[in-house]
Structure 1
Amino acid sequence: MQPIGIFDSGIGGLTVFRSIAEQLPGYDYIYLGDNSRAPYGNRSFKTIHQYTWECVQWLFKQDCPLIILACNTASAKALRTIQQKDMQGLDPSKRVLGVIRPTAEVIGDYSATKEIGVLGTSGTVQSESYLIEIQKFFPKLKVYQQACPLWVPLVESGEYEKPGSDFFIKEYLDQIMVQSADIDTLLLACTHYPLLQDQIKAHLPANVNVVAQGDIVAKSLADYLQRHPELEQKISRSGTREFYTTDDTTDFDRHASRFFAAPVTSSFVSVTEFSCNK
């Protein structure tokens, strides 16, 4: 097997994996969630890079020729260093891709007013990765940002389904929308946030688009594979999906089914195994 590797700091990346598996069902996939060290959002660049690179190397050892960082924080704080530095000297045919660039390539097309808001973790917002990438493709687009540090724990704890969660959801939406009356598109720049999508829409004017990344990333991956047949031909095709977590598998499986919209059965991998990568 030579599966596509999909990595996230926890379970949020399963929303991206779900879209990828729906659009590209024939390939084999391995998903790795680094739940024992999540969340990544408030950690330093150095720590996020270290953790992400360890997980990427583990996926390479599972014979993945292509790895998707289905995590905005890892894409923002680790991807460039991995691509430009860490992978030097490795098999040049291997690839590691993120979720920020494919989103930045199209997000401007969703806005009529050419003013959008980006909702993300503190790490993603502080990195300004979206501001930089979107500027490359839509230089006239006005981009506003808002960190939503309570949303990930709200989702992972399951508290988002309770009435009291509306207060925390509305609080950050008010903070982003007050930045400009012309914002007509909000990008959910965290893979956990699609689970809040209905509640988010309920607190916004009807004319505001709420854009999740899953379908965007899946379409971009399909296009990438079409443009790189030498890589696409390496990926095995038996339709298998394997799930791994660095934390408790029972807890992972219970929560993961909500994100993946299907039952999930995972296997445990200890972070101590990553030490052999160094």
Structure 2
Amino acid sequence: MEEKKTYQPIGIFDSGFGGLTVLKEIVSELPQYDYIYLGDSARAPYGSRSFETVYEYALECVEHLFNMGCHLVVLACNTASAKALRTIQQKDLPKIAPSKRVLGVIRPTTEIIGKHSKTGHVGVLGTQGTVNSESYLVEIEKFFPELKVYQQACPMWVPLIENSEFDNEGAEFFIKKYVDELMAQQKNIDAVILACTHYPLIQDKIKKYLPKNVDLLSQGSIVAKGLKDYLQRHPEIEKECSKNKLLNFYTTDLPETFDKAASLFYGEIVKSQHLDL
């Protein structure tokens, strides 16, 4: 009798919907695996919350994903990656799950940004929380110490995107405003990181207000390729990930509310289940 395959999905976590743009690219790059997406939308947004609160929420969700069978969890959220990832990796994992792993979305992008700049000046567009954390400055310094990095917080972009208000004149005003403020810091910026997983939905509009020579980097495909490389380099983790092409969505909010917005981010119909934390 054939042994029944266990369900050990790769967990993808975000405070809400943005991580779905990362999940979409990961599933496209690595379709053979099982995935669980957990959106903590009842407590979103994380961007304006303290380090302590984001850490507490992120750890709680990671532990839930571990309990659901995940051996590997990706924090597909820049705020959680900036404010919680290091503490979870260094302090919590050795105690609660030493054989399991938690990855973030910041490192894969910062590992390659230098290859996209000729001038040595790069920009970061992100939430206030991500900018305040200075995580991109720290990580880019590790890989490309010669780069000059300029950050710009874009507090209006996530609310506009989540309320489907990004296709009107008001949205155009705020998109142009933050892009102009970034470029006013240094006119020689020639590569810009979209440091929020919501921003791919307005990527074309952002490009419109950037100089033509600027390379705009979206995280989804970069994180997906980084995960593929990680699994190849860590066969002990890869073998713990089941491969039945199953995909399940969970939300801490009302599923019908979540599904409507989630479908916009994922590009396909999403049917989620409620998860009580």
TM-score where L is the length of structure 1: 0.96
Q: Give the secondary structure class of the aligned counterpart of 1:89.
A: helix
How far apart, in 1, do the equivalents of 2:269 and 2:244 lie?
19
How far apart, in 2, do the equivalents of 1:257 and 1:108 lie?
33
For these two proteins, the number of residue pairs brought into alignment is 271
CA displacement at 1:46 relative to structure 2: 0.4
| Equivalent runs, 1:62-77 vs 2, <5 Å | 62-77=68-83
Q: Give the secondary structure class of the aligned counterpart of 2:94.
A: coil
1:181 to 182, 187, 192: 187
How far apart, in 1, do the equivalents of 2:146 and 2:66 lie?
39
The match for 1:127 is 133
Q: Give the secondary structure class of the aligned counterpart of 1:56.
A: helix
1:269 correspondence with 2:275: yes
1:190 correspondence with 2:210: no
**Deviation digits for residues 92-128 of structure 1, max 9, x if unmatched?**
2100000111111011111111211001111110010
The match for 1:260 is 266
The match for 1:154 is 160
Any stretches of 5+ residues in structure 1 without a counterpart? 272-278
Task: Point out the more displaced range, 244-253 or 64-73.
Answer: 244-253
Root-mean-square deviation (Å): 0.8
Aligned residue identity for 1:201? K
Aligned residue identity for 1:247? D
**Deviation digits for residues 29-53 of structure 1, max 9, x if unmatched?**
0000000100000100000000000
1:52 correspondence with 2:58: yes
Any stretches of 5+ residues in structure 2 without a counterpart? 1-6
The match for 2:241 is 235
Q: Give the secondary structure class of the aligned counterpart of 1:214.
A: helix
CA displacement at 1:205 relative to structure 2: 1.5
How far apart, in 1, do the equivalents of 2:179 and 2:74 lie?
29
Task: Point out the more displaced range, 253-262 or 233-242.
Answer: 253-262
1:36 to 34, 42, 46: 42
1:138 correspondence with 2:144: yes
The match for 1:205 is 211
How far apart, in 2, do the equivalents of 1:240 and 1:34 lie?
21
The match for 2:256 is 250
CA displacement at 1:88 relative to structure 2: 2.4
1:27 correspondence with 2:36: no
2:94 to 83, 88, 91: 88
Q: Give the secondary structure class of the aligned counterpart of 1:146.
A: strand
1:164 correspondence with 2:170: yes
How far apart, in 1, do the equivalents of 2:230 and 2:136 lie?
20
**Deviation digits for residues 162-200 of structure 1, max 9, x if unmatched?**
232100111111110000010011110000001010110
How far apart, in 2, do the equivalents of 1:117 and 1:80 lie?
23
Aligned residue identity for 1:173? V
Q: Give the secondary structure class of the aligned counterpart of 1:218.
A: helix
How far apart, in 1, do the equivalents of 2:274 and 2:182 lie?
39
How far apart, in 1, do the equivalents of 2:216 and 2:234 lie?
31
Aligned residue identity for 1:219? K
Q: Give the secondary structure class of the aligned counterpart of 2:150.
A: strand
